[in-house]
Structure 1
Amino acid sequence: MSLLTRHLPTNRPALVLAPMQDITDLPFWRVIHHYGDPDLYYTEYFRVHVDSRPERHILRSIDENPSGQPVIAQMIGQDIPALVRTAIALQKHNVVGIDLNLGCPAPIVCRKNAGGGLLRHPEQIDAILAALRPVISIAFTVKTRIGYDSPDEFDRLLEIFTRHPIDALTVHGRTVREMYKPVLHYDRIKQAVAAMPCPVFANGNVLDIPQAEHSLAVTGAAGLMLGRGVIRNPWLFRQLRAHHAGEPVPHPTRRELREYIDRLYRETWLPEYQDHDHVAKMKKYLNYVGLGLDADDAFLRDMRLARLPEDFFAVCDKHLLRDDVAFAPNI
């Protein structure tokens, strides 16, 4: 039996917060805790190489976890001794599992044969999994894309994953080359569900309840890992729970979305920030919040011009306080 199973709900699909570097950090966890926790948090990835040590600011997410919900620490790298050393070190903290990132598509990461770049080297993945499993006494999970260049590569990758006793597999249904294009290969996630003896989480293209229902229905996944959808709509975990339980689903308004942005601004502020630095950081979140907010992308267009806090909040007020309707009508 998977070592992760006891940390997952038994009466509905699991809801998992995706790791997004420099986005889903401790301040964001605090915000999500206010609106509705996932069943499982994944940390941002710990960069692992010959001279690395676990980054303190990511360790704080574990040690100061505001929710009490279980946490999995994610690693990214390709040096086996360093990965082993880091996995051992991370188990000294309050985590229920260690995850290996095989999905990050960032070119700078792939050039180092880490993250999604490792998908070009299945034999190295095989060796890494073989080395890590014996030193991880808690759950050992993998987050992967379905290939580097082609979805056809997933057959070979899945053959490797099934040979190792991992406790969960998260499948982002795109190749590295596809980045975040609209296409999602649900058939490959379904293939993993059929082949793996452990829970499989579907990742990608879930911004609302209908998309969540579709992903679960066509893949048979044990749960959903959500990233961009939760940044856009921090009520999403709560909405999905209510929907599954047959309870009334909350429909937040644009005014409540404006309050979410206020809370996010307060939580992510650091004393060393200059005003323009903080606005720049907030834009990383607002790029997701603005998805589908208006048909002509006027909110995002205006937001890109904001440099100072007064400009930033003026844009928010202009677009979010003009009426009090639901901001996500598809929910």
Structure 2
Amino acid sequence: MPRMRQEKSQIHLSRNTCRMGGDKIYMGPLRGFTERPFRDAYAEFFSGVDVVLAPFIPLVTVDYINPSRLRDILPNNERIPLIPQVIGNSASQIIQMAEVLKSYAYEEINWNLGCPMPKITKKKRGSGLLLYPEEIHTLLSQVFENIDIRFSLKTRTGFQDTSLFSELADVFCQFPLASLTVHTRTGSQMYSGTADKEFLLPYLEKFSNTELIYNGDIFSVEDFETLKNLMPSISSWMIGRGLIRNPFLGEEIKTGEKKFNRNRFFSFHKMLNENVAKTSTSEKTHLNRMKGYWTQFRFLFNDRETIKNRILRAQSVKDFLVAAEEIIKNSGLQEH
């Protein structure tokens, strides 16, 4: 392979920045992106992430949970600590899954109260359940009476608006949550608009006895710097799309140095492609999954639309890999 240009530069951090000390970075769950093929490649080539929250497992009523439903999190041997996440609205199903996960040596289960997808929310799951604080309270009461592993949850600021969050916060504070992640968008926002960076300010004292994890629009060191200066008492941060767009971001936040390296990204991309190939049922599925990653990878480079169109034009995995290698080797870099 031809030698690729390497870039290394210092990221400017203002003098009054609250820098990463004992802060913790979580990789957020993104279905179609952060499944095991990505996680394994990420762990091989990057650092900076302390914990990974796996994409959710849908809960169902069954007498026996087939291990095939858990294939993304089995075996439990990943290099970065992994927390399985579930989605549903049944306490008995959560309790059953907690027992199964414990049998596979998992020590924590996370409940998804944030998914904004309409096919989920219309079933009163994910952020759709945020309209019903009393039902959430009842479910949590039953769960905490019947599980003996740690229990955390990930939520949004509400479903249609934020009017119920104060009531939801009162509910959450009644239980010994291992952590509480708040994505500071409503469910109805999906991923549009911007996250409300100041939303949690009135709740910092209320959640002072819980590991409070901020989530939403951390795409750069500057984004992190702004949030850390705004909320220095928060020491846990969840990054989703930001780590797909720039897998170096965790390292950049923790070191203050720009870390992009073409050779390293190329090697990561090669392993990711191999992992995706092994878990795809056809070349078309393989190709579409890799094209999906490039909806985010393109943000590393200049001329994003040209890159997007070039990737989308690929009709085979071979054509795709030729285009991807050329982009990685030669495209100008976006400033982060």
Q: Same fold (TM over 0.5)?
A: yes
Tell me: CA distance 1:328–1:224, structure 2 relative to 1, closer, same or farther (3 Å). farther
Quick one: which of 92, 114, 120 aligns to 1:103? 114
Quick one: which of 273, 285, 299 aligns to 2:307? 299
Equivalent residue letter for 1:115? G
Unaligned residue ranges in structure 2 (runs of 5+): 1-19
1:204 maps to: 216
Quick one: which of 31, 34, 49 aligns to 1:21? 31
1:90 maps to: 101
1:113 maps to: 124
Task: Tell me the alpha carbon deviations over residues 80-137 of structure 1, each in whole angstroms, 9 at most, x when there is no partner.
Answer: 2112211222122222311110001111111111111111211111111111122332
Q: What does residue range 8-47 of structure 1 map to in structure 2 within 5 Å?
A: 11-34=21-44, 35-36=46-47, 38-47=49-58
Tell me: CA distance 1:96–1:328, structure 2 relative to 1, closer, same or farther (3 Å). farther
Q: Distance in 2 between matches of 1:210 and 1:62?
A: 36
Unaligned residue ranges in structure 1 (runs of 5+): 1-9, 244-248
RMSD, aligned α-carbons: 2.2
| Displacement of 1:145 | 0.5
| Displacement of 1:16 | 0.6
Given that 1:190 and 1:219 are in contact with CA atoms closer than 8 Å, whether structure 2 keeps it comes out as yes
> Could you tell which deviates more after superposition, 84-93 or 263-272?
263-272
Q: Distance in 2 between matches of 1:222 and 1:37?
A: 14
Equivalent residue letter for 1:17? M
Query: Does residue 1:230 correspond to 2:243, yes or no?
Result: yes
Q: TM-score, normalised by structure 1?
A: 0.87
Q: TM-score, normalised by structure 2?
A: 0.85
1:188 maps to: 199
| Displacement of 1:195 | 1.3
1:5 maps to: none
SS in structure 2 of the partner of residue 211 of structure 1: helix
Query: Does residue 1:128 correspond to 2:131, yes or no?
Result: no
Equivalent residue letter for 2:318? E
Equivalent residue letter for 1:18? G
2:320 maps to: 312
Q: Distance in 1 between matches of 2:66 and 2:101?
A: 8
> Could you tell which deviates more after superposition, 258-267 or 110-119?
258-267
Q: Which has the higher contact order (CA 8 A, sep 6+)?
A: 2
Task: Tell me the alpha carbon deviations over residues 126-184 of structure 1, each in whole angstroms, 9 at most, x when there is no partner.
Answer: 11111112233232111000000112221121111112221210000000111112321
SS in structure 2 of the partner of residue 224 of structure 1: strand
Equivalent residue letter for 1:138? I
Quick one: which of 206, 217, 223 aligns to 2:229? 217
Tell me: CA distance 1:54–1:70, structure 2 relative to 1, closer, same or farther (3 Å). farther
Q: Distance in 2 between matches of 1:286 and 1:21?
A: 15
2:4 maps to: none
